[in-house]
Structure 1
Amino acid sequence: MYNNMGPQPGVPRPPTNTQPSPFGNAFYGAGSGLIRGGLGAYGEKILGSSSEYVQSNISRYFSDPQYYFQLNDQYVRNKLKVVLLPFLHRGHWTRITEPVGGRLSYKPPIYDINAPDLYIPFMAFGTYVILAGLTLGLQGKFSPEALNWMFVKGLLGWFMQVMLLKVTLLSLGSGEAPLLDIVAYAGYAFAGVCLAVLGRILLSYSYYLLILWTCMCMGIFLVKTMKRVLFAEMRSHDSSRHHYLLIFIAFAQLPLFLWLGNITVNWLF
Structure 2
Amino acid sequence: MVTLRKDGKKKKKSLLERYWPAVTMFVVLVGLLWVGSLYFDEFIFPGPLKIWDAILEILGNEGPQILLTLGRFLLALLSAIVAGWLVGLLMGAFRNVFGRLVQPFISVIQAIPSLSWVLLVILWFSQVELRIWFVTFILAFPFFVIAVYEGIRDMDKDVLEAVEQFRPTKMQVLTKLLAPQSFVNLITVLRSTSAMTLKIMIFVELLGASNGIGQRMGLAQSSFRIDLIFGWTVILIVANFLLLKVIGLIEGKLLSWRSEAVVR
TM-score (norm 1): 0.29
Q: Which has the larger radius of gyration?
A: 1
Structure with the largest fraction of helix: 2
TM-score (norm 2): 0.29
Higher relative contact order (CA 8 A, sep 6+): 2
